[in-house]
Structure 1
């Protein structure tokens, strides 16, 4: 019998709200990463893409997180098994990024129970 061994993976999510109201979701992006740095790299790329259009104070805060201790702390939190995130206001919208560790169970086909076809009679 083959046993599935869990591996640690990281669930990345970016939610964009039309307003500061958490019920007004405009867009959701989700991604599973295999390493903390991979998940944080996605946040850094998103934030850098938006940075040019941010007001100076928000741009400084965003780039400080991207290029400074914020992303390093986030990677550290993920290595410790803790979730992390970042958020900012952009053109009247609110954007939140979060990454959460989870256990992923990879099972090869030989470990699955076959499904019986419809030709099988009642029990």
Structure 2
């Protein structure tokens, strides 16, 4: 088994996930986003962390929706969070994301088991 791992990744290390060298973050992210025709959400089909899409970049794990937001909209202001206007944590559609303060996000009421706000799509 470790011989196959070495052949694929160049190492016999047993890190849970071995990346294929040479792939950009975009080449790893976009194929795992599937558009939901009913909602327009770009739903992440890869790994999740706290219900949000997650991808390894370098030696750290980043939320997919934040990465996509930066690529399509621009930098996230300091002390801001990304609010999912569609209430779907797996969504990375930049049209469904908005940079807001944590207070605004909490006031909008992102509830895990209930209704959300009037502005939800």
TM-score (norm 1): 0.21
- Structure number with larger C-alpha Rg: 1
Task: State the structure with bigger RCO (CA 8 A, min sep 6), 1 or 2.
Answer: 1
Q: If each structure's helix is expressed as a fraction of its own residues, which one has the higher value?
A: 1
Q: If each structure's strand is expressed as a fraction of its own residues, which one has the higher value?
A: 1
TM-score (norm 2): 0.21
